[in-house]
Chain A
Amino acid sequence: MPHDHHDHLSPSGHPYRPDQDTGLTDWQVMEIAIRELMIEKEIVTAAEVQNQIDAMDARSPAQGAALVARAWTDPAFRDRLLTDGSAACAEMGFDVGPMRLIAVENTDSIHNVVVCTLCSCYPRNLLGLPPDWYKSRAYRSRTVREPRRVLSEFGLDLPADVTVRVHDSTADMRYIVVPARPEGTSGMDEAALAALVTRDSMIGVGIAKAG
């Protein structure tokens, strides 16, 4: 009964969450101070700051999915993507800035998964903002220690004859996993295939599935 009175539910039936009435952290104060100073000195405008935030929020995994679908349908492109990920992005017309991309491919015998133990390095241009769990200490520390158990918690149980390759994104490279193309998709065009490519399959905690 969603509308029963309950300690942990609001009157509308949603879980109760406390207001964030705590003070700002030092870092938040510093960010506000620097932003206000830069606006005051006319280095940036408030509108420019907001536009940049909007642009970051608007990113999605669509470009990553398009990249994978092209690799599935064009073997020569797949080879170029695995050789030089950044050049392959440029070829697709994706502006990845200075990002250096390495694409790693899942096969019958290899499953790749990406983590950043030191912080939250992630190919945001291609995949959008990283999910919260990607930045959690649990994911970051456990994926390098017991990747199969972590993958199992994502619902992915890999057979023993598949080698797991963990990629710790420690420095200047960013990683995208090219998941295996699902069975039964031979008649599908690139756009239909791209719809099967999930964010999680490009991080390596999931796989692409047909329908």
Chain B
Amino acid sequence: MDNLAPGTSVRVRAMRPPGHVRTPGYLRGRIGIVERALGPFPNPEQLAYGHAAARLPLYRVRFRMGDLWPSTETPDDTLDAEIYAHWLEPL
């Protein structure tokens, strides 16, 4: 997951870990496309508790509204969010 090129299809892992995470619930399990790689950033799941934080690749992932909300009237509108590498699995 360290080198996902723009355009790569990814699924957000449907994990439910306890504590501070910055992957919104509504995106877990959803499929999107890497829009761009942002570089390494300290893992907020460790940072939030004052632990030494590993630096993880962060990606902007673009989702189709139709894939997030099947009943939407505008399925081709998009939603972009920043997701850390350990939450993504390439498809």
Contact = CB atoms under 8 A, between A and B. Distances in A.
Interface of A: 100, 102, 117-118, 144-148, 160, 163-173
Interface of B: 22-24, 26, 38, 41, 44, 58, 60, 68-69, 72-74, 76-84
B78 A166 contact: yes
A116 B60 CA distance: 14
Contacts of A169: 82
Given A117-B24, A171-B44, A145 B69 contact: yes
Nearest to A169: B82
A205 B17 CA distance: 34
A102 B83 CA distance: 15
A168 B81 contact: yes
Given A165-B80, A167-B79, A170-B23, 6 more contacts: A144-B26, A170-B22, A170-B81, A171-B22, A171-B84, A173-B38
Contacts of B74: 148, 160, 164
A171 B78 contact: no
A145 B82 CA distance: 17
Contact of A172 (B38, B77, B80): B38
Given A118-B24, A144-B26, A173-B38, A167 B80 contact: yes
A211 to B, nearest CB: 31
Given A163-B76, A165-B77, A173 B82 contact: yes
A146 B75 CA distance: 11
Contact of B78 (A100, A146, A163): A163
B80 A166 contact: yes
A118 B22 contact: yes
B67 to A, nearest CB: 13
A91 B74 CA distance: 38
Nearest to B36: A102
A166 B60 CA distance: 12
Given A144-B26, A172-B58, A164 B44 contact: no
Contacts of B72: 146
A171 B23 CA distance: 8
